[in-house]
Structure 1
Amino acid sequence: MRTHYCGELNGSHEGQDVVLCGWVQRRRDHGGVIFIDLRDREGLVQVVFDPDRAEVFQRAEQARGEYVLKITGRVRPRPEGTLNPDLPTGAIEILGLDLEILNASETPPIQLDAHAADASEEIRLRYRYLDLRRPEMQSRLRTRARVTQVMRRFLDDQGFLDIETPILTKSTPEGARDYLVPSRTHPGEFFALPQSPQLFKQLLMMSGLDRYYQIARCFRDEDLRADRQPEFTQLDIEVSFMTEDELMTLMEEMIRVLFREVIGVELPNPFPRLTYAESMRRFGSDRPDLRVPLELVDIADLMEGVDFQVFAGPAKDPDGRVVALRLPKGGELSRKEIDVYTQFVGIHGARGLAYIKVNDWVAKGRDGLQSPIVKNLTDAALAGVMERTGAQDGDIVFFGADKAKVVNDAIGALRVKLGQERGLMAEGWRPLWVVDFPMFEEDPANQRWMALHHPFTAPKEDQLDQLETNPGACLSRAYDVVLNGTEIGGGSIRIHRDVVQRQVFKLLRITDEQAEDRFGFLLKALRFGCPPHGGIALGLDRLVMLMTGATSIRDVMAFPKTQTAACLLTDAPSPVDEAQLKELGLRIRSKA
């Protein structure tokens, strides 16, 4: 129907007759001359209709916003003084020779211009097909398509095979609730939608396929937030006979190629690496935002002997932590601003936020410090804090003292918030790898060990004896890739020996019977010559969100769900009729 896209036209097309199809972005009547801005996925072009073509002019008068038109016209330069340098097609216009109204439109419930972002997300999701007409949304989805294209080409060139894995599979708990699908042919039994292709991609390595990838759809029934959806997409990768260093090197090269080709950004080579322990110590997080220059400083040893139990208690507790966080020039913060930060750390479990304003430490010592807690600290403790943090006059030092997890969560989050709000955030992209994760974390409530990543992650070869003697100190062969404070991928070398896998299951209190019931097919495969293997999964939605500057993964998905896992566009989930339930052998229990 068309010869060109609207946004493709430029001065090189002058004098050509073209046929365009698209939507009316805006219609203007200027003294008997009608201007229509016609929009398609490639952009916008101005079409001019003169009254000397009466029939065509009359149809142009009928056009309104979001009408679908087919226009035949001739490309010509815009008159002097009417050029629009902000528009790629701003040097030319189309003289309208013919116009066909392909479809009319009701007045849209949302504006499809610069004010579209003012609409509520509920309205945007309910009328998603309109929201997706916006250039901003189309640009994001085009970037997403380009990302997957580059990923596929890179992996194909590296000898990876694109292999699909089942969507209907066995329920094998992986940390979140499964979405269950009742089976009609096996009454009373259920399939599960995969939380990831984890077990199948390991089986592919046991099948000798060596290098696998898939842009995989995954499903998790968990509480949602900005970077979570009940269904999401990941680039899933598994390889055989490759060390973690080799795999990480290959993956960061792919990420560099991705940023270079899609958004024209050069990422560092190589990515820096931090151990989990160092990342937690310096930043309170295993996904640190390295654009923020602030760091946590341990001061527990300085506080063990002070009378101030708020600090002394955690300092003496093996599970406690006491840290200081220096904010340069933070002495100008008002009491009201400090109260806001106190409320913020409270969200993360902190019971308060102690601070010291450094007014004139060099000349006056403790008399140059301003804080209710100064009187509770010794001269030696104060001097130690000032020295370790590098505090200077005009700064403020915040403190965290509690269980280590509370301190890491609260002060780690405060570090990022201060960086954002105090203008300390550096520009650009700061990727890194976090490595040497613990194999297990404690579940104090149930007095048991839990896998920090998943139960198929291998321990470091030189720490196999720790599985028996000291599981809490055992490190895994896991690795996460982090970009600007967001984890964009994670993976590990897997357990490839049956005896080690059963040992890990035992530590996790998965009995032999439970292991056979849940993972029997995997355990059996491990006994038939399983190669050493490992992999990684990169969150495609998160990656595209960062690359496009979106604030939520919902804005880089065509048809996302709300934070209550509902689709406003289709009104899903919805009831099904009694006949369907009966066929599946199901009955809805009435609400009490």
Structure 2
Amino acid sequence: MAVPFISEVKRTHTCGQLTKEQVGQEVVLFGWVQNRRDHGGAVFIDLRDREGLTQVVFEPDAKEAHELAGQLRLEFCIGVRGKVISRGKNVNPKMKTGEIEVKADALTIFNRSEPTPFLIEDSIETAEDKRLAHRYLDLRRKPLQQSLMTRSKMNALTRAYMVENGFLELETPFMGKYTPGGARNFLVPSRLNPGKFYALAESPQLYKQLFMVAGFDRYFQIVKCFRDEDLRLDRQPEFTQIDVEMSFVTQDDIFTIIEGLIQKLWKEVLGVDVPTPFMRMNFDESMAKYGNDKPDLRFGLEHIVLTDLIREHGEGGGVPLIWEAVQHKGIVKAMVIPADKALSRAESDKLEEFAKQAGARGLARAKVGEGGEWTQSPLAKTISPALRQAINQACNAKTGDLLLFQFGRESLVHTVMANLRVHVAKKLGLIPEYGSGGNWRFLWVVNPPLFEYDEESKTWAAAHHAFTRPHDGDVEYLLTDPGRVKCHRYDVVLNGFEIGGGSIRLHDPKVQAEVFKALGIEEEEARMKFGFLLDALKYGAPPHGGIALGMDRLVMLLTSAESLRDVIPFPKTKTGTDLMTSAPGDVDERQLKEIHVRSVPPPTQQK
């Protein structure tokens, strides 16, 4: 007689729950067959659900269940009833349930499984494309399930923390008006408004500011955002952020709230006590020492800026290329690889190949010999002894150290040296290839420039967005020296990843007008692009500011995942496609006509 599983016989435990405390109890488990072993009479399986594994044995005395167990194969979805018994001396220390097994007296097969395209195992070498095409199977694997379970816990912890601190969870539209920003938007045609388009929100920025104008005081949202950008390790076209805005605050008030949230997440998820307040570093210092505004502080290898030193020695101290770079308003940087981390000549040559891949023309090198002489370097032939000695002293270089140099356009030098620093650190084993290695180094990067200069258009652009508040003492330079203006913008950084960023907003219409002028935006253009927000700011807008934390990156770092795709349930590939559903896909002409859109093939497909 068939046992009425589910309808009457309900699950009593998960497959990761049973211990010796339950020995003698009758239990009901549901799950999938992880593996099967026939020991010449008794049939053993490991039954899996999201919580773990339990060994189940089917012995001949339970005739009906034993016969049906002979049909079991990997990934069959089944239900089992039986008694928990001790495994005695055959304990499996690798399993949470390794002290017990379930002696089954009833079995049902809910659904059979065809052979899967790859084995459902913790560690597999199957190509990612195949796993993404069968993502529902990939998600059965323990590492991915644990990452998503961690993500769920983080969502719950975040909501609880924010509510405890007086924040309201409020929703903002996904579809809004296109406004110029730092990223390309996805556009959605409007069927009811022919020729008009919505833009999928790249962030709730303007809406959350309107919440402050409306008097809600403290807002948060765990929100999906969209950016039509080229993808990489830590970027997806749709992503999730913890969005926060507060009224009547300084940036220190925002830092306190965010540090408390991070502290709670690390404690509850990992059991790690994160010390607060976080270290703070000026943007200029970060660029000088590390080449970017998201430095990894788990190791040294700091950069040394030598530009002024080169100027002091006149005409590059005998090195024309360096002098040329300085004369063209470039910079000169060095980095020291200590003698105790010595690289072979072949390994040093490979560093030059890496620098070229990062955009450099080459990588100047010099090994410090006895008495400070340089060897293994073409620079040694022409550099003046005085400049060589000054560089050794500035770099605190010792015998056996390797000096790496980069000079030229400032932005390129920073980028190459920043990438080289991390590459060398991984090569020397100072940090793991991915993951934290148990070392969590948080910091705030503060006081960046309000504007950045666009070499192509020869104009100033907002480095973040046009509504960031400049430092009060720099307002006088908005129209006369925009590059000098610093602002109340900040990024929270962890181990080389920017995990959040925000700013104190501009709520003063007069200063806002000057910022627009500095950007070359006339009043009419400003009203066309941002009119609704500018109007709102006129009606008693409070001082306010906020931040957005990247939830995907937080989960990636907390779980030591290799990429964002490992912590997003159904991610896109590097080309923005979903291999499982074949999205994006074609639509027929009727659908296009309804939304008043015509599909034009790219030039390569046109005859």
Within 5 Å, which residues of 2 pair with 1:256-275?
256-275=263-282
Report the counterpart of residue 116 of structure 2 in structure 1.
108
The SS at the match of 2:517 is: helix
Q: Which amino acid aligns with 2:369?
A: N
Within 5 Å, which residues of 2 pair with 1:129-208?
129-208=136-215
- Asked if the contact 1:203–1:525 (Cα under 8 Å) also holds between the matched residues in 2, the reply is yes
The SS at the match of 1:270 is: coil
Q: 1:379 is matched with which residue: 375, 385, 390?
A: 385
Work out whether 1:300 is the aligned partner of 2:311. Answer: no
Work out whether 1:415 is the aligned partner of 2:421. Answer: yes
Q: Which amino acid aligns with 2:391?
A: V
Distance 1:145 1:310 in 2: 55
Work out whether 1:325 is the aligned partner of 2:335. Answer: yes
Report the counterpart of residue 581 of structure 2 in structure 1.
570
Distance 1:424 1:128 in 2: 34
User: How many correspondences in the alignment?
Assistant: 585
Report the counterpart of residue 547 of structure 1 in structure 2.
558
Distance 1:115 1:307 in 2: 56
Work out whether 1:5 is the aligned partner of 2:19. Answer: no
Report which stretch shifted further, 576-585 or 98-107.
576-585
Distance 1:556 1:527 in 2: 42
- State the Cα deviation string for residues 559-583 of structure 1 (Å, max 9, x = none): 0111111111111111112222221
Work out whether 1:45 is the aligned partner of 2:54. Answer: yes
Relative to 1, partners in 2 of residues 1:478 and 1:115: Cα closer, same or farther, differing over 3 Å? closer
Within 5 Å, which residues of 2 pair with 1:343-362?
343-361=353-371
The SS at the match of 2:43 is: strand
- Asked if the contact 1:217–1:234 (Cα under 8 Å) also holds between the matched residues in 2, the reply is yes
Q: Which amino acid aligns with 1:340?
A: K
Within 5 Å, which residues of 2 pair with 1:166-565?
166-304=173-311, 305=314, 306-318=317-329, 320-329=330-339, 332-361=342-371, 365-366=372-373, 369-425=375-431, 428-565=439-576
Distance 1:259 1:498 in 2: 40
Q: 2:598 is matched with which residue: 577, 587, 592?
A: 587
Report which stretch shifted further, 39-48 or 339-348.
339-348
- Asked if the contact 1:195–1:218 (Cα under 8 Å) also holds between the matched residues in 2, the reply is yes
- Asked if the contact 1:360–1:369 (Cα under 8 Å) also holds between the matched residues in 2, the reply is no
Distance 2:123 2:335 in 1: 41
The SS at the match of 1:586 is: coil
- State the Cα deviation string for residues 275-318 of structure 1 (Å, max 9, x = none): 00011111111100001211111222333321211211223343
Report the alpha carbon displacement of residue 427 of structure 1 after superposing the two structures with TM: 5.1
Unmatched 5+ stretches in structure 1: none
Distance 2:307 2:228 in 1: 40
- Asked if the contact 1:550–1:556 (Cα under 8 Å) also holds between the matched residues in 2, the reply is yes
Distance 2:598 2:428 in 1: 57
Task: Name the TM-score, length of structure 2 as normaliser.
Answer: 0.94
The SS at the match of 1:62 is: coil
Distance 1:45 1:14 in 2: 13
Distance 2:588 2:406 in 1: 56
Distance 1:436 1:401 in 2: 26
Report the alpha carbon displacement of residue 55 of structure 1 after superposing the two structures with TM: 1.6
The SS at the match of 2:469 is: coil
Report the counterpart of residue 83 of structure 1 in structure 2.
91
- State the Cα deviation string for residues 238-292 of structure 1 (Å, max 9, x = none): 0000001111122112111111111111222221100000111111111000012
The SS at the match of 2:176 is: coil
- Asked if the contact 2:122–2:143 (Cα under 8 Å) also holds between the matched residues in 1, the reply is no
Kindly, what percent of the aligned residue pairs are identical?
48
- Asked if the contact 2:452–2:462 (Cα under 8 Å) also holds between the matched residues in 1, the reply is yes
Q: Which amino acid aligns with 2:93?
A: P
Report which stretch shifted further, 429-438 or 166-175.
166-175
Report the alpha carbon displacement of residue 434 of structure 1 after superposing the two structures with TM: 0.2
Distance 2:240 2:150 in 1: 15
Q: Which amino acid aligns with 1:349?
A: G
- State the Cα deviation string for residues 492-535 of structure 1 (Å, max 9, x = none): 00010222223222222223222222211001101111110000
Unmatched 5+ stretches in structure 2: 1-9, 432-436
Task: Name the TM-score, length of structure 1 as normaliser.
Answer: 0.97
The SS at the match of 2:479 is: helix
Q: 1:93 is matched with which residue: 89, 96, 101?
A: 101
- Asked if the contact 2:62–2:104 (Cα under 8 Å) also holds between the matched residues in 1, the reply is no
Q: Which amino acid aligns with 1:65?
A: L
Q: Which amino acid aligns with 1:543?
A: L
The SS at the match of 2:473 is: helix
The SS at the match of 1:479 is: strand
Work out whether 1:31 is the aligned partner of 2:61. Answer: no
Report the alpha carbon displacement of residue 330 of structure 1 after superposing the two structures with TM: 6.5
- Asked if the contact 1:216–1:235 (Cα under 8 Å) also holds between the matched residues in 2, the reply is yes
Q: Which amino acid aligns with 1:98?
A: A
Relative to 1, partners in 2 of residues 1:16 and 1:457: Cα closer, same or farther, differing over 3 Å? same
Distance 1:331 1:230 in 2: 40
Distance 1:98 1:13 in 2: 18
Report which stretch shifted further, 486-495 or 408-417.
408-417
The SS at the match of 2:242 is: strand
- State the Cα deviation string for residues 180-218 of structure 1 (Å, max 9, x = none): 111111111111110000000000000000000000110
Report the alpha carbon displacement of residue 334 of structure 1 after superposing the two structures with TM: 2.4
- State the Cα deviation string for residues 475-505 of structure 1 (Å, max 9, x = none): 0100000000000000000010222223222
Q: 1:68 is matched with which residue: 77, 99, 103?
A: 77
Q: Which amino acid aligns with 2:397?
A: A
- Asked if the contact 1:331–1:394 (Cα under 8 Å) also holds between the matched residues in 2, the reply is no
The SS at the match of 2:408 is: strand
